[in-house]
A and B are shown apart, each in its own frame.
Chain A
Amino acid sequence: MAAADHRPHYEIRVAGRLPDRWAAWFDGLSVSAEADGTTAIRGPVADQAALHGLLDRVRDLGLPLVALTPIPDPRRTPR
């Protein structure tokens, strides 16, 4: 699966520090709290419908959405 995985990657940034146990809630995306008091939820998203599903989860928790950014696949573009 990984080799054929061309799913676009996204970063959803929310206000507040989320512990990484929330990763499972966000379909296994990585959840990392940043120093500035926000949390970045990052990873591959199947399509727009799946992305909206993730945003709904953010909304349903009352997490303030700060930014949504498409990001390069970290495994393909080494940084």
Chain B
Amino acid sequence: MDAPATPLLRTKLRAPAPRPGAVARPRLAARVAGDDAAALTLVSAPAGFGKTTLVADALAGRPGVAWLSLDPRDDDPATFWRYVVAALETVRPGAGDGARALLDSSRPSSEVLVASLLNALDAPGDEVVLVLDDYHTVASPEIHDAVGMLVERRPPGVRLVITTRADPPLPLAALRARGALAELRASDLRFTADEAAAYLTGTMGLALGAGDVAALGERTEGWIAALQLAALSMRGRDDPSAFVADFAGDDRFVLDYLAGEVLERQPDDVRGFLLRTSILARLTGPLCDAVTGGGGGAAMLARLERANLFLVPLDDRRRWYRYHHLFADVLQVRLLDELPGEVAALHRRAGAWAEAAGDLPEAIRHALAAGDAGRAAALVERAAPAMRRARREATLGRWIDALPAELLRTRPVLATALVGTRMATGRFDGVAALLDAVEQRLAGPPEALVADDEEELRLLPAQVAIFRAALALVAGEGAATLGHAARALELAGPADHLPRGSAAALAGLAHWAAGDLVPAHERYAEAIGHLERAGHVSDALGCSLALADIQTAQGRLGAALATLEAGLAMAAPHGAIRGVADMHTGIAEVLVARGDPAGAAGRLTAAEALGEHAGLPQHPYRSRVAAARLRELEGDHAAALALLEEAGRRFDTDFSPVVRPVPAIAARVRLRAGDLAGAARWARERGLGTDEEPADATEYERVTLARLLVRRGDEGALPLVARLLAAAERGGREGTVVELLALRALAELAGGDERAARASLEEALVRAEPEGWARPILDAGPGVADILRAIAAAGRAREPARRVLAALTAEDRRPPAAAGPAEGLSEREREVLRLLGSDLSGPDIARELVVSLNTLRTHTKHIYAKLGVTSRRAAVRRAAELDL
């Protein structure tokens, strides 16, 4: 498992402890805690309205509360979901296993992540209340969409509470309309006159008259943070009424006025400490000492907490604190105003401390704030590999964007990191120009280059070539992909396993897309070895899947099985990492081809049990295709088609060539179900015909068309099969050869040449035997079983015929379904059909159409086949049924 770039801060998962003596707000608390119908409780109000305190108090002591305090660093899907998972696990241990595995192994879409979380939460147990505190720090649309999905699809007993300073872009209106939204807004949260009185005279123990309390309430408009500041500045004053009078008579911004009053009353050391440490997102004693250059930071923090100076403890042991956000902002304004010359130095010291503590993101934030762009750039370079492993490219990209563009020119490692973040997020524009600039720099004097790590600089030329290969691949430029990949291999050292593996995989993909199976096989085999040694096991599994597909195309089912089993063995020490499910599903496909649907079903169950996170991007679609295949073999064509429909929606080959398009697979199911018209509709929409097929049609589509033509008894079937057979032989695609030989047998049988049919099928059997192929023969069409039985009784391929017959399913033994609507009828055939409905005899019809009797017989044979009938009467009846 990759270590996240920064460890999770457990303190963010802890609800603030209730403050002693706080004003009780039972009416509001009931609205937060009690409304189980609300999918979402939204507490939306400006800073300082007591949102967090209210929610924490309302939910205190209640089981099932998953708390998450957000901050601007969490505005990256990868980080956000890691914290949500961790928060949920505080109340439902294990509920985040699937989601965490997804995050560890890939950059899952938020949709997949949320689906996984919802599945895990949809289990009997206590109610779960997920609190997202300070949600306004999130800006990423991807996060908003996914949180919206979480709210919409929540299982019973799961709800969300969000505190925010701005209404989030969630479907609030729809939730409101359904009564699924509970809202608390600024007008609800303001202290009422009674609450202000209770706070000032009760909690704070101030000796104030009713008039003073009313004046304060009016001047602050019930703004709780302002009332707190006012109370603080009145403590210990002889004449609080005079303060109230001054304050009420002043029109300065409440916060500025009051913070000034509070600060003025602090001793110099406290005041200086507050200003200088205001730049820190989180405070702890040693960090404060490093920043102020003094000592006693821990004691000072304890003192500030006792004095109620807006310090929020983040843990029970009082090690970490933060300032209340509003107070921190006012302090920073005073710092910038009073000690402008010190600010950069303060950030530098804070950054150095963070760096020493291993918190690179915080060190980068301070370096940027100090205006030390070069230093920030070096830190970004250092943080980049871990950020990439944690799939936090969004944050990485944001850092680089915050740096001056000149730095990219002297820092090729940084510029290449930017390319990586762009490509990872699918933004390819401008990437080629960035790579050009990097190469130009690399060709120049080395002393002009700056890098945090010389080793990264050494690997850069190969990395640039790999990015170029990937760009060419995305653009569909096969030759260019191969060229760049070859260059990357030249540039990488023998032990640079990651670049070697990446380059080999890209080359393998380009060869495969071009149909060159032999070199594709070689490159993928190399890629698997390098990627495994580089520790990128999931990527190695992706290559194993591709290699197994190539081996299957070559007819080598045994080799494909071995590749997939080796993938499982490679992954075994790592648990259910991404790609493991694909190995099982791949094995299922091989078992189906060998005529072992029961074994295949077991593998599919195993893949499903691993969970969605164990699958590569192509797994959602491939697993459905494999499941559809099993339904098809059971004779449940409707279920198979429904699964294929889903597969079409989840279709993603992850850049692999589309070998078997889902609509073609569906056309085969329709054929088996006897829906010839449906299959013909697919062929027409795809532009596939006997005369000419589109150049971009895959072999799988052409063979599907051949099946349709054979089933229809079309004259074009044999020539098409012959063409495809020659091409498959040339390309070494033995699996297709077997299938086409079986198809040829059926076409020959339909033509009345029984002897040729038998010879063709015998050849198919002989060639299928070494690798155990069964299904391509059985799937050729109804009628193949009869020939098989004849061969099994007496023939040169007796044994193989018996083996394939043993794989017959109950469904195979059922008589072929009646052909469906005969959309495949030609104009001429329709004319013949109309005349067949008349009283005219055969010779009369031939005369009427001005054709020979033989030609008429051919036409009627085709019509019968297409309609699935055997007599003139049945044909006429069927034509009437079908309204032809």
Contact = CB atoms under 8 A, between A and B. Distances in A.
B is a partner of A: yes
Interface of A: 16-19, 21-22, 24-25, 37, 39, 59-63
B329 interface: yes
B332 A61 contact: no
B337 A60 contact: no
Contacts of B165: 59-60
A74 B494 CA distance: 64
B140 to A, nearest CB: 14
Interface in B42-61: 46-49
Top-10 shortest CB links A-B: A21-B337, A24-B336, A62-B46, A16-B253, A25-B333, A17-B252, A62-B47, A18-B253, A37-B251, A17-B251
A37 B136 CA distance: 28
A17 B253 contact: yes
Contact of A18 (B256, B325, B326): B256
Nearest to A22: B333
Nearest to A58: B46
12 contacts: A16-B253, A18-B253, A19-B253, A24-B337, A25-B329, A59-B47, A59-B165, A61-B253, A61-B255, A62-B48, A62-B223, A62-B225
Contacts of B7: none
A12 to B, nearest CB: 14
B333 A21 contact: yes
Given A25-B336, A62-B46, A62-B49, 13 more contacts: A16-B253, A16-B254, A21-B333, A21-B337, A24-B336, A25-B332, A25-B333, A59-B46, A60-B47, A60-B329, A61-B326, A62-B47, A62-B225
Interface in B313-347: 325-326, 329, 332-334, 336-337, 340
B252 A19 contact: yes
Contacts of A16: 251-254
Interface string B229-260: 00000000000000000000001111110000
A2 B412 CA distance: 31
Interface residues of B, number: 24
Interface in B284-336: 325-326, 329, 332-334, 336
Nearest to A39: B253
Nearest to A21: B337
Tell which of A22, A61, A62 has the most Cβ of chain B within 10 Å: A62
B166 interface: yes
Contacts of A24: 333, 336-337, 340
Contacts of A59: 46-47, 136, 165-166
A51 B819 CA distance: 67
Interface in B218-233: 223, 225
A63 B221 CA distance: 12
A62 B255 CA distance: 9
Interface of B: 46-49, 136, 165-166, 223, 225, 251-256, 325-326, 329, 332-334, 336-337, 340
Contacts of B332: 25
A26 B325 CA distance: 17
A18 B251 CA distance: 9
Contacts of A21: 333-334, 336-337
Nearest to B337: A21
B331 to A, nearest CB: 11
Contacts, number: 53
Contacts of B49: 62
Given A16-B253, A37-B251, A61 B47 contact: yes
Contacts of B46: 59, 62
Nearest to B343: A24
Nearest to A37: B251
B329 A61 contact: yes
B250 to A, nearest CB: 8
Contacts of B255: 61-62
Contacts of A63: 253
A59 B166 CA distance: 8
A64 to B, nearest CB: 9
Nearest to A14: B253
A18 B337 CA distance: 13
Nearest to A15: B253
A35 B333 CA distance: 23
Contacts of A22: 256, 333
Contacts of B340: 24
A39 B326 CA distance: 19
Contacts of A25: 329, 332-333, 336
Nearest to A36: B251
Nearest to B45: A62
Contacts of B337: 21, 24
A63 B255 CA distance: 9
B347 to A, nearest CB: 14
A59 to B, nearest CB: 6
Contacts of B47: 59-62
A54 B418 CA distance: 27
Nearest to A25: B333
A71 B861 CA distance: 84
Contacts of B251: 16-17, 37
A17 B253 CA distance: 5
A22 B252 CA distance: 12
Nearest to B332: A25
B326 A19 contact: no
A37 B333 CA distance: 21
Contacts of B166: 59
B165 to A, nearest CB: 6
A25 B336 CA distance: 8
Contacts of B326: 60-62
Contacts of A62: 46-49, 223, 225, 255, 326
A38 B340 CA distance: 26
A16 B252 CA distance: 6
Contacts of A17: 251-253
Contacts of A39: 253
Nearest to A64: B46
A54 to B, nearest CB: 14
A62 B46 CA distance: 5
A20 to B, nearest CB: 9
Contacts of B223: 62
A37 B46 CA distance: 20
Contacts of B334: 21
A66 to B, nearest CB: 13
A19 B336 contact: no
A19 B336 CA distance: 13
A62 B329 CA distance: 11
Nearest to B336: A24
Contacts of B325: 60
A62 B48 CA distance: 8
Contacts of B253: 16-19, 39, 61, 63
B337 to A, nearest CB: 4
A63 B326 CA distance: 11
B598 to A, nearest CB: 59
Tell which of A16, A25, A61 has the most Cβ of chain B within 10 Å: A61
Nearest to A59: B165
A60 B46 CA distance: 7
A24 B255 CA distance: 17
Contacts of A61: 47, 253, 255, 326, 329
Tell which of B136, B225, B253, B326 has the most Cβ of chain A within 10 Å: B253
A54 B509 CA distance: 48
A63 B223 CA distance: 11
Contacts of B48: 62
Nearest to B253: A16
A63 B225 CA distance: 13
Given A24-B337, A37-B251, A59-B46, A19 B256 contact: yes
A61 B49 CA distance: 11
A61 to B, nearest CB: 6
A16 B254 CA distance: 8
Nearest to B333: A25
Contacts of A60: 47, 165, 325-326, 329
A37 B252 CA distance: 8
Nearest to A38: B251
